[in-house]
A = this chain, B = another copy of it.
C-alpha cells in the first residue's frame, strides 16, 4: 500500500475499490436543515466568525427559496446554553471555550437575517455538534414523514459532519450540499468532505439540489 495525499483521485479510487463512497440518492420526502448560520459564525466581528461563510449564506438563501417553493419542511439550528453554563459540560467548555458565548438571549445566537426564518420553521436549540443530540429534531423529522435530509450551513468539520453522521445512522437519505457548507479551515473542510462522502452522505452540488427541489415542487417526484 502506498501513501496517498488527501484529496487526490488515487485515494478516492482506493476507497471506492473497497466499497466506500457509493451513492444513496434523493428520496421522495425531503427536509432541509440549515445548521448554525447565526451571528457567532457569520459575523466577522465575532471571535469565531469567518468571512469564508459569506458564499455559504448566499447559497443557503437560494436553496431556502426553492425549499419553501416546494413546501418541504425547513429546520434551523443554533447552539444554545443556559447563562450559568451548566449545560455544556466539562468537555465542551475545555475543548471549545468559545461556546461560553452561546448563551440564550445573546446577539451571537441570532440567525443571519437574510435567512428570513418563518415562525413555523422550527429552530432547534442544540448543545452539541449533532442536531440530533439532546433535541427532538428526530421526532420532528418522523412526524413529517421525512426520508431525505438536505444539510447546509457550518462548520464542515464540526456540526455538518456530526449531523450528517447522525442522519445516516438513523437511515435518512443524507445529502450535504457541497457549495453550501464551509469551515474556517480550508484543509479541515476538504478532509471532512472526503470522509462525509466516503461514509455518511452524498455530496451534491447546489445546482443538482435546486434541480431536485424543482422536481419535488412540480410533483415529478412521487410522494
Contact = CB atoms under 8 A, between A and B. Distances in A.
B95 A199 contact: yes
A169 B123 CA distance: 19
B98 A18 contact: yes
Contacts of A188: 6, 191, 194-195
A30 to B, nearest CB: 13
B169 A90 contact: no
Contact of A1 (B52, B87, B138): B52
A187 B6 contact: yes
B89 A140 contact: yes
A173 B91 contact: yes
Interface of A: 1, 3-6, 11, 14-15, 18-24, 47-48, 50-52, 82-84, 86-87, 89-92, 94-99, 119-120, 122-123, 127-130, 133-136, 138-140, 142-143, 145, 147, 157-158, 162, 165, 168-174, 184-188, 191-192, 194-195, 198-200
The 10 closest A-B pairs by CB, nearest first: A19-B97, A191-B191, A134-B136, A6-B187, A143-B171, A19-B98, A89-B171, A22-B94, A89-B143, A142-B171
